[in-house]
Structure 1
Amino acid sequence: MQSVASPIAAQPRRLTLWLALASVYILWGSTYLFIHFMTEQMPPLYMASMRFLVAGTLLYTYARVTGTPRPTLNQIRSAGAVGILLLGIANGCLTIAIQHIPTGMAALIAGTLPVFLLSLNWVSFGKTRPSNLALAGLLLGFVGVYFLIKPDKLQGGSADHNLIGAGLIMIGNLAWAMGTLMSPRLNLPSPFMSSGIQMLAGAAALLTVSLLTEPVTLFSIVDAPTKAIGSLWYLVIFGSIIGFSSYAWLARNAPPTLLSTYAYVNPVVAMLLGTLFAGEILTSQSLIGAGIVVAGVVLITLGRK
């Protein structure tokens, strides 16, 4: 006979579920604003590399101290490859894009990630045709992005800046989708160990490019203003460690359809914070584009088989 969990035992689990979900919604949605603050007066790739260097070191150390075995060379290579795609290329592109477009707009375009996951899984990894509802969502997603990047839709924005910012995020979304779809096919270590290695690999890639292309040295962090340092620590603690831990817990304990809702809640949070704290202004037609993007992502989520 199947046992039934008591209401008393179910309550803490339900509370943990909603706290973790709120963490992913709010903390990940706020990262766009703090990336903007972190890179206002400092080179973007350099600061992104410092963020993942610190977070990766903390996670790797935590994994080892709590008894996680040392990863094999094959596991290091696999996690490193995923880290370069997810954090080196995808996050690097996002960090640069925020120098060209508002954070709310960046979050909305980044929110089209399910479009890339769906398309890439269809044509390459899974060879799985999406449902008609998901295909409708895919089409809506691209229509929404078109509205968002038109040059007259951002106050003070230019066509060049819109296209550069949107193009970088789309390259990043493609890299993130590739890394996400590759992960189940690779031999990766335990979650915390894997994330630590991924962050360190992403940091190494970002720092290498930064030293070659940006006016920095290895120790330029000592010249960073207080606002940039504070934002960096916020991203390390709340964005990378707490946000990731909440997401990892939800991935094991929450229905995928519930977990995937972060993709269209994060942009709303980012838009509100950008308006309140960064003085970003969206026109009415920008909001229409935002609504189309969110509707497309919702349809893709509902239409997944």
Structure 2
Amino acid sequence: MGGGAATGFLLLVMGNGGIAFAQNLGVPSGVAALVVGSMPLWVAIFGAAFGQRPGRAEFVGLVLGFAGVALLNLGGDMGGGGMAALALLVAPAAWAFGSVWSRRLPMPEGLMTPATQMLSAGVMMMAVSFVLGERMADAVPPRAVVAFVYLVVFGSLVAFSAYGYLLRHARPALATSYAYVNPAVAVLLGVVFAGETLGPLTLGAMSAILVSVMLLARGKR
């Protein structure tokens, strides 16, 4: 298995696939977001194992960012049972290990790296879906098609390609800080499009996340 296929398996099949599997078993999205928010901490652990220890400011930023994500999702129930808990444990660790390991593997040039990862992972995910007996029994509703196109363009072609570039040119702690920002962005979108309000706890959590990203950005280069 080449570097692109191996890291595609870790990042997308075990990482994203593990989160999707857990949510299909009944894990709330807030708990899933909290688990994904732990991924930069796993990156710090694996990075240290490969000899790239985070600096003091980076370490404080990692802990502060995870605390902010935890506050945003305070009160979420686990749900889903033992298999969901196992998937939630493995998913962020697999994504983190794949991210750190990819910096030490021979990878295709340029955008061929994320392309290889996504194509190989797509084939593997189709095989897993077939083994699990998943089928599309009904016609796909238009809203699902729009969501699919959005994820293909912005989630895959734009965001995942940008993440691959950051892994090659930035420190792992900084490249993975998006996991702290995503829940905060989701809250802001809820305010803008769904008329939700921000309470003191939410404002404090988002402030903690903002400070954590600033610390990660100013960490050792």
> Which category describes the TM-score, using the shorter chain as reference length?
0.7 to 0.9
Q: How does 1:64-103 map to 2 (within 5 A)?
A: 77-96=2-21, 100-102=27-29
- Structure 1 match to 2:184: 268
1:224 aligns with 2:140: yes
1:178-193 to structure 2, matched below 5 A, reads 178-193=97-112
Q: CA deviation at 1:280?
A: 7.2
Residues 272, 150 of structure 1: alpha-carbon distance in 2 compared, 3 angstrom cutoff: closer
Q: CA deviation at 1:91?
A: 1.4
Q: CA deviation at 1:214?
A: 5.0
SS at match of 1:185: coil
SS in 2 for 1:303: coil
Unaligned runs of 5+ in 2: none
Structure 1 unaligned spans of 5+: 1-75, 152-156
Cα distance in 1 for residues equivalent to 2:83 and 2:38: 17
Contact 2:11 2:94 (C-alpha < 8 Å) held by counterparts: yes
Contact 1:108/1:290 (8 A) holds in 2: no
Q: Contact 1:134 / 1:299 at 8 angstroms: preserved in 2?
A: yes
For residues 97 and 276 of structure 1, do their structure 2 counterparts lie closer, same or farther at Cα, with a shift above 3 Å needed? farther
Matched, 1:138 2:62: yes
Residue type at the aligned position of 1:115:
L
CA distance in 1 between partners of 2:43 and 2:83 (Å): 22
Q: Give the alignment's TM-score, normalised by structure 2.
A: 0.73
Superposed displacement of residue 198, structure 1 = 0.9
Q: 1:159 to 1:283 in 2, by over 3 A?
A: farther
Shift of the alpha carbon at 1:259?
A: 6.8
Offset at residue 78 of structure 1 (A) = 1.6
Q: CA RMSD in A?
A: 3.9
Q: Pick closer, same or farther for the CA change 1:182–1:246 going to 2, 3 Å.
A: closer
Match for 2:211: what amino acid? A
Q: Give the one of 42, 45, 53 matched to 1:119.
A: 45
Larger radius of gyration: 1
CA distance in 1, matches of 2:183, 2:198: 13
| Distance (Å, rounded) in 2 between the aligned partners of 1:304 and 1:165 | 37
AA partner of residue 212 (structure 2): G
- Number of residue pairs matched by the alignment: 217
SS at 1:204's partner residue?
Answer: helix
Q: CA contact under 8 A between 2:69 and 2:183: conserved in structure 1?
A: no
Work out the CA distance in 2 between the residues paired with 1:245 and 1:221.
32
Matches of 1:145 and 1:246, distance apart in 2: 23
Instruction: Tell me the TM-score normalized by structure 1.
Output: 0.56
Cα distance, 1:222–1:188 mapped onto 2, change above 3 Å: farther
1:73-124 CA distance string (max 9 Å, x none): xxx6221100011111111133345663347x755653453322222211x1
Tell me the distance in 2 between the aligned counterparts of 1:229 and 1:246: 24
Shift of 1:215: 3.7
Which of 57, 78, 92 in structure 2 is aligned with 1:173?
Answer: 92
CA shift, 1:211, in A, is 2.4
Following the alignment from structure 1 to structure 2, what is the Cα–Cα distance between the partners of residues 172 and 189? 24
State, as a whole percentage, how many aligned pairs show the same letter. Answer: 35
